[in-house]
Amino acid sequence: MYAIELTIGDYVHRLPRAADEAAILAELTDAVRAGGGVVTLPTSAEGSVVSILISPGVLVFIERTLVPDDEGSDPFDPADFTQDKWPAAEDF
């Protein structure tokens, strides 16, 4: 399974696991080919979406990160990045 993060200009958007990556990338591509357009991105929050204006001059980076296929875990769970989980300085 992959975690998918879009960087659009300076904005970073993480797609929810259930998002249809191929459909979203097709919408982004269609907007660029049409000379610009609004694309709606799904979010992890129920009932929430983000709409962005895409044009040929907007850089869009798509980062796919392989994550363990662990049911119920969120690859971006803030609890995974607590101070006590970072390696100690002497471990470097």
Q: What is the 3-state secondary structure (H, E, C) of 31-81?
A: HHHCCCEEEEEECCCCCCEEEEEECCCCCEEEEEEECCCCCCCCCCCHHHH
Which pTM does this prediction carry? 0.66
pLDDT at site 77: 57
> In the chain, what are the domain boundaries?
2-68
pLDDT band at 92 (very low <50, low <70, confident <90, very high): very low
The larger pLDDT score, comparing residue 66 to residue 85, is at: 66
The arithmetic mean of pLDDT across residues 22-47, rounded, is 91
